[in-house]
Amino acid sequence: MVPFGPSGCTVGLDPTVGIQPLGVGCSCSAAFGKAKTDCSRVDETDTRTHSGQKDALEAMAAHSTAFHSIQGQRRCPPSHRNGRWTCLKSNASFYQMDEGVMRGGARPRRIVLIRHGESEGNVDEFRYTHTADWKIGLSSKGIQQAKETGVKLREMIGSSAPVFFYISPYKRSRLTFREIQAAFEPSRIRGVREEVRLREQDFGNFQKREEVIKAKEERHRFGRFFYRFPNGESGADVYDRVTGFRDTFLRDMEKGRFTEDTNVVICTHGITLRTFLMRWFGWTVETFEQLYNPDNCEMVIMERCKSGRYALSYESCHVLGCPHEIIQDMAWHSRASLDEQYPGPSELLSPKDLM
């Protein structure tokens, strides 16, 4: 996790603890400065006309002051300074404390993200020309991969810890879940939720292979995150709906749906998995562009640290091709307490020294 993006915007905050970026841009300070100036020009005598506007502008001016205070401390992201900011209740606020999660129910022991097993479409791309994407099933190899992943998952979490599943409604994801859950006794499965926001990126309806190949070549030149497929979605569209799922997930934590030993398993698709991590950790678009999909049925593991935050395991960072700065950051968070000050990536030891 990199503390600041190339534009100077804050990134890399864990949504279960502390402050969340709601949209920091380089022009914000100028805009808020203007709001502060405009606030002084409001006619205080015409309360019926201007009182609401004045209150709003004064609130923006207050947030401008808070923002400039933050600017002077940019070396450490806000969540690492003290983790105790209160919610700024305004559309103009930059950060939001997920206080309900802090006060509410337990956080799961692990969050395990799994890409579906090898699909019929992975084997034969012509399948998409006559079969709807959401109806594409698993190959025989994909079924075996899912069975093996279920065994590995059971061995990793132990013989008694409960499991909760969120799954994409696409057939290949549901079949992957079916084989994984077979490795567990029914009493250990605390819940299963089919979650439509975890579906695959939409590449169009019945896909013409030549057009999809051309579009993917164009995406490579344009950028994977912002390129929108004709009649389909961009990576940014997937990010938006994954953000909605993340909020639901956090509310499930707040409501006490999980116990501290619960392992949450998310069966989904490659780009959905990566955008979930991007949203969770606040990674930049540039970081997203460096990552790649895990192999079919490969597990990406987020461990709950002693601070209460989550960090990717060392192996999962390499599965995704994370840059060295993120590997360093995850290694530090896996050992740090909530009140420890983040030293910044340039001052961290080699990740191997921290493991």
Active site (catalytic) residues: 116, 200
- Given phi > 0 = left and psi -120 to 50 = alpha, else beta, which region is 264? beta
Residues 6+ apart with CB under 8 A from 59: 90, 92
Residue 328, CB half-sphere, CA atoms under 13 Å: how many?
A: 14
Q: Are 5 and 284 in contact (CB under 8 A)?
A: yes
**SS3 (DSSP) at 301:** strand
Q: Do you know the residue count of the chain?
A: 355
Q: Exposed, middle or buried: residue 71 (CB in 10 Å: 0-12, 13-18, 19+)?
A: exposed
Angle between helical axes of 270-281 and 235-254 (0-180°, round to 10)? 60
C-alpha to C-alpha distance for 219 and 229, rounded to whole angstroms? 8
C-alpha to C-alpha distance for 300 and 330, rounded to whole angstroms? 13
- Given phi > 0 = left and psi -120 to 50 = alpha, else beta, which region is 83? left
